[in-house]
């Protein structure tokens, strides 16, 4: 099993420590967030392989957080943990975008097996590539590919690209992009949009894209130009 980069969102210290220790012992790199607020941006910034998400969090519930992630275009596989195991709750969790579901208490080995299965399912080779000009956009893994070259996008970069693409060449204003990609959790000016457009342009350049370009529309925002 190749090492995975994992995010554990769990507020109970004992459980969080047990998961972090156990997964790290398997050779994986594990980050832990104890609140929904911290986890919201953490998962959008870091390209995790799998997220383990507890339903009950001190500042909200995991299912609402999951809906927000999915609405922002985050495609990472999510294993939802809960103390509640009724059919209705499982359905709610899965409909919110969870890929799998585990009821507490559980054996660590089962969690590990499920996390590994989620990672395998989302591994490259799946039909998740979409053409974007002369690059392939792997939505599942948030990656851009051209030939042998590949770069992974962070959640924000990916959400920004998807938002620009959704407009099909029309101009997206900075305020629209701020709202759609950063939502309520960013206060400030549109400068952050310019910074992230810079990151995206650098990554497009790194894979050698020639038919995809993010064009600045002076004083307004940006638009995505894709040549066939």
Binding site for Ca ion (CB under 5 A): 11, 54, 56
For 19, the token pair is: 């998961």
Report the residue count for the chain. 228
Phi first, then psi: give them for residue 153, nearest 5 degrees.
-95, 150
21/84 with CB nearer Ca ion: 84
54/157 with CB nearer Ca ion: 54
11/99 with CB nearer Ca ion: 11
104/165 with CB nearer Ca ion: 104
CB of 99 vs Ca ion, minimal distance in Å: 19
Task: Evaluate whether 210 touches 134 at the Cβ level (below 8 Å).
Answer: yes
Cα 123 to Cα 10: distance, rounded to the nearest angstrom: 25
**Strand pairing report for 29-33 and 5-9:** parallel
CB of 57 vs Ca ion, minimal distance in Å: 6
54/119 with CB nearer Ca ion: 54
CB of 101 vs Ca ion, minimal distance in Å: 15
Task: Evaluate whether 194 touches 120 at the Cβ level (below 8 Å).
Answer: no
Which residues on adjacent β-strands are paired with residue 100?
79
Cα 19 to Cα 192: distance, rounded to the nearest angstrom: 34
The residue number with the shortest CB distance to Ca ion is 56
Q: Which residues contact 32 (CB under 8 A, 6 or more apart)?
A: 7, 8, 9, 10, 16, 19, 20
CB of 112 vs Ca ion, minimal distance in Å: 19
29/35 with CB nearer Ca ion: 35
CB of 60 vs Ca ion, minimal distance in Å: 11
62/221 with CB nearer Ca ion: 62
CB of 97 vs Ca ion, minimal distance in Å: 19
Cα 163 to Cα 153: distance, rounded to the nearest angstrom: 14
Q: Give all strands of the β-sheet with 129-132 in edge-to-edge order.
A: 129-132, 135-138, 143-146, 149-152
Q: For the chain, what is the radius of gyration of the CA atoms? A: 18
The single-letter DSSP state of residue 4 is -
CB of 117 vs Ca ion, minimal distance in Å: 23
């Amino acid at each position: 099993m190749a090492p995975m980069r994992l995010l554990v969102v769990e507020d109970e210290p004992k459980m969080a420590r047990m998961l972090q220790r156990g997964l790290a012992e398997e050779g994986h790199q594990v980050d832990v967030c104890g609140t929904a607020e911290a986890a919201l941006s953490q998962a959008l910034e870091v390209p995790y392989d799998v997220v383990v998400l507890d339903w009950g969090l001190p500042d909200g519930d995991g299912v609402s957080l999951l809906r927000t992630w999915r609405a922002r275009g985050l495609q990472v596989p999510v294993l939802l943990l809960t103390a509640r195991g009724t059919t209705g709750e499982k359905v709610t969790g899965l409909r919110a975008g969870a890929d799998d579901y585990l009821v507490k208490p559980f054996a660590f080995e089962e969690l590990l097996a499920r996390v590994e299965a989620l990672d395998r399912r989302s591994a490259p080779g799946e039909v998740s590539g979409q053409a974007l000009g002369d690059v392939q956009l792997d939505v599942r893994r948030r990656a851009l590919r051209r030939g042998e070259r590949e770069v992974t996008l962070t959640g924000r970069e990916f959400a920004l690209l998807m938002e620009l693409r959704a407009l099909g060449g029309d101009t997206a204003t900075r305020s629209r992009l701020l709202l759609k990609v950063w939502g309520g959790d960013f206060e400030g000016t549109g400068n952050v949009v310019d910074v992230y457009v810079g990151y995206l342009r650098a990554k497009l350049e790194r894979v050698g894209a020639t038919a995809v370009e993010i064009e600045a529309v002076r004083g307004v925002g940006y638009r995505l130009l894709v040549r066939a």
